[in-house]
Amino acid sequence: MAVPEYQLVYFRHDVQTFIKDGLYKAGIPNLAQFGKVELQSDGIDDEARQVNFRYDASVPFARFNSPLPQVDNHQIHWIIYGIKPHILDAGHVIELMLKSDLDNLVYSTTKNKLLNPLIASTSRKTIHTFMESEAHQDMLEANRRGKSGDILREALNRGFTTTYLDEALTSLKRVVTAIQRWSVIKWAIMSSLIIYLLMPIYTAFNHHWQQDTQRIYMTPFSRWGNQQELWDSLQSIAHYCGLFIIVMSLIISTTGYIWRRNWIKLRLDRHLVRWSIDKGILRNQWCISLILISVFTSALLIFNPIWITHDGLLFGKYPFSEQISWMLKTLSLWAK
């Protein structure tokens, strides 16, 4: 299959750069949509085995200035082209109008802000306001398609400078990364507490309850007086509780990832969540979650094993209700 090759030939040497930019942005094969194109000549080159066509084309361009009331009547230099006008250069007009939104976004990514565990809540309004702009949404969609730098600037009709675009993308990456990092940590803490509270049920079904003359241990009995005792306690927890910790960690960490993704989509912007996923910023951090949950849960089980007295007092202090006592007696029978 023959693939056509195109080349622009100018009849003047002083053609201004913006005209060349406009013609290449329109695309040579599509010039008829932007101006008048007429066939001038055609011929066959037998030696090169080519068929050559030459066209005359004329595409209208216009340049003008207009004041922007939103920024103290700042003069905006516009360049448009085509019989049905298309914007080639918007004179960074969109940047001037949205600069305050970017400033607020950049402020939300300062060091102190990123170290705040509640960054998702504190930065939600700022990010939501930033993403309300269709220009910012178009920026993320174009960046998803692999455009960056000057190519991204051209795709947005030169409405922004490359500095603005780079700063916006970098700030969004930082804040989404921080939201995800703190979410993973908080979900790991919550998961550890859930696993810790459910562990007696798991150990009961596997006949791993232990008792002495005063207590019934519903989780592995542990000591940490010296290094050897601590190591033995870790081995005991890994042996009797490891499988339950791993399975629950994977289930809860996946649930946390789905929750983060939907939260960003509903509370912030759907374009932002698609961009974050495509760029590998928003991910299921199951490996890190597994490590954190394992560490937190093991610490709880080592330093505070769950036990009851033979009289049914949790940790020797808290009496159970009749329903809970009945449940524990049933579990004790199953554990024998």
- Using one digit for the tens of pLDDT, what is the confidence trace for 176-200? 999 999 999 999 999 999 898 888 8
What pTM did the predictor assign? 0.74
d(CA 120, CA 87) in angstroms, rounded, equals 37
- On average, the pLDDT of the chain sits at 84
Q: What is the mean pLDDT of residues 57-62?
A: 87
d(CA 138, CA 158) in angstroms, rounded, equals 13
pLDDT digits (tens, 9 = 90+) for 258-280: 999 999 999 899 999 999 999 98
- Domain ranges in the chain? 1-89, 93-336
Return the sign of the alpha-carbon dihedral for residues 100, 106, 112, 113.
Answer: positive
For residues 129 and 135, the answer to whether their CB atoms sit within 8 Å is no
Residue 323 pLDDT class (50, 70, 90 cuts): very low
Q: Measuring CA to CA, how many Å separate 81 from each of 65, 150, 170, 295?
A: 15, 20, 32, 63
Residue 134 pLDDT class (50, 70, 90 cuts): very high
CB atoms within 10 A of CB 144: 15
pLDDT of 80 higher than 70: yes
pLDDT at 334: 53
pLDDT of 109 higher than 60: yes
Q: Who wins on pLDDT, 42 or 255?
A: 255
